[in-house]
Amino acid sequence: MQSNGGVSRFEVAAQAPINLVESGPVGGVIGAAAIGALVGEDNLITLDIGGTTAKASLVERGDVRVTSEYHIERSPLHAGYPLKVPVVDVVEIGAGGGSIAWIDPAGALKVGPHSAGADPGPACYGLEGSEPTLTDGNVIAHRINPEYFLGGRIRLDVERAREALRPIADALEVSVEEAALGVIRIANANMIHLLKLVSVRRGRDPREFSIVAFGGGGSMHATALARELRVPRVIVPPAPGHFSAWGMLASDLRHDVVQTRFVRAEALDRAASDEIWRGLEERLLGTFADERVPPERVTFARSADMRYAGQEHTVNVPIPDGYDPGETARRFHNLHDQLYTFRLSSPIEFVNFRLTGFGTVRKPELARIATNGDGSAARKGVRGVDFDELGRHEATIYERSLLGAGAELEGPAVVEEPAASTVVFPGQRLRVDEYGNVIIETGVN
């Protein structure tokens, strides 16, 4: 798996290992795009919540956003390192199940970025970890079933979770239950901020997207985040805890090449542009040949980084085969307007010619699940769950593997599976599609 969202053979990958940075999270984004195509949703915000971080990315009209301006380890306090190779644009923050709740020296409650990870893990794991984490908060709020963690293979110690959180409750002069909810609210606020970074900050309205939630904690938090951001729909794919791995299997072979050449648009005709791209195609066909992919299984996508003469920053413009100067200029103006809110009458300049090659490979298909519109068979019981400002409700607990295609249910509910739980808030409706995806309509508008 490569940073650009495609896979590669080992021999080719070994030549330029920088192309593998962040490949794990990228797998999840590619998987989310595949799920989106399956269920007919092409505008997606992906949300991957693990033990230490939460990661988000944007899929727009089915396209995964790839950037050449990616920095690793960049934060407001850290300049990070620019990669300058194509990377799927994943943004991450330090908020996950293992994120540690702490009181800073001035008495403010913080959650993360330090994490207890899986080892020593949250206090409730009963291992070495004794610091209060987001997972401990979720256990105390009854959003996680302590008896059914990893399908019951680990029994969570609620009393240890409460003990770990007590110093925080005492410092803030609230009950342990309130402190637990506070930890969840602050973690959720951090995640809201993350989702805004990939949407609102880039001029996108989250109400026009669906969230695909995965990772061990994605489905636990996504429904609350969707309420807050007024996202109409949340999709939880099958086996969300292992979804990034599935996403890697759903990827094609992919390689990118770039040729920098400064050319004024008016000086570039179709023949000259074709010559540049054909040269790039030759190079990529060579790479694919090394991976034993024959030319007939390779497809290409051309694009160019363009700007107004005199500018420094560029806009990436997709260019169909058969370069049409007028059409390309029109697209450039529109994209520039969308990204930077203005257009100029200045001459346009080409900076980089980019070619992406895809080598199609056989991919696993999601099996259809048996139809069973009656959700009652999956009911496991009822439990009091804290739904924050909506209050504490008796929530119906369901076993996900027993929900058939077509099943529908309403919140307050929790759908449990071995490596994840989906929290359905009062007023939210959940259905299961033919592939076993859980789809929650949040009812907000």
| Count of CB atoms situated within 10 Å of the CB of 27 | 24
Minimum separation from the CB atom of position 182 to other proteins (A) = 4
Which of 78/363 has CB closer to other proteins? 78
Please select the residue that binds other proteins; options are 283, 297, 313, 368, rule is CB under 8 A.
313
- Cα–Cα distance measured from residue 288 to residue 427, given in angstroms and rounded to the nearest whole number: 51
Q: Is 445 a binder of other proteins (CB under 8 A)?
A: no
Report the site for other proteins in 370-389 (rule: CB under 8 A). Answer: 389
Q: Is 11 a binder of other proteins (CB under 8 A)?
A: no
Q: Is 10 a binder of other proteins (CB under 8 A)?
A: no
Q: Do residues 262 and 252 touch, judged by C-beta distance below 8 A?
A: no
Minimum separation from the CB atom of position 77 to other proteins (A) = 6
| Count of CB atoms situated within 10 Å of the CB of 10 | 7
Report the site for other proteins in 343-362 (rule: CB under 8 A). Answer: 344
- Cα–Cα distance measured from residue 339 to residue 251, given in angstroms and rounded to the nearest whole number: 28
Which of 10/262 has CB closer to other proteins? 262
Report the site for other proteins in 168-187 (rule: CB under 8 A). Answer: 172, 174, 178, 181-182, 185-186
DSSP string, 271-294: HHHHHHHHHHHHHHHHHHHHTT--
Nearest in space to 243 (alpha carbons), one of 91, 102, 34: 34
Minimum separation from the CB atom of position 227 to other proteins (A) = 9
Nearest in space to 241 (alpha carbons), one of 150, 156, 171, 180: 150
Q: Is 366 a binder of other proteins (CB under 8 A)?
A: no
Q: Do residues 188 and 229 touch, judged by C-beta distance below 8 A?
A: no
Q: Is 72 a binder of other proteins (CB under 8 A)?
A: no
Which of 178/441 has CB closer to other proteins? 178
Q: Is 181 exposed, middle or buried (0-12, 13-18, 19+ CB in 10 A)?
A: buried
Residue with tokens 């729909």: 233
Which of 77/370 has CB closer to other proteins? 77
Q: Provide the mask over 85-104, with x wherever binding to other proteins is found by CB under 8 A and - wherever it is not.
A: -------------------x
Nearest in space to 238 (alpha carbons), one of 403, 383, 21, 437: 437
**CA angle 98-402-371, nearest 5°?**
130
Which of 230/270 has CB closer to other proteins? 230
Name the segment binding other proteins (CB under 8 A); options: 132-140, 190-198, 363-371, 375-383: 190-198
Please select the residue that binds other proteins; options are 17, 275, 326, 342, rule is CB under 8 A.
342
Q: Which residues bind other proteins (CB under 8 A)?
A: 76-77, 79, 104-110, 172, 174, 178, 181-182, 185-186, 189-190, 193, 196, 200-201, 203, 260, 262, 309, 311-313, 339-342, 344, 389
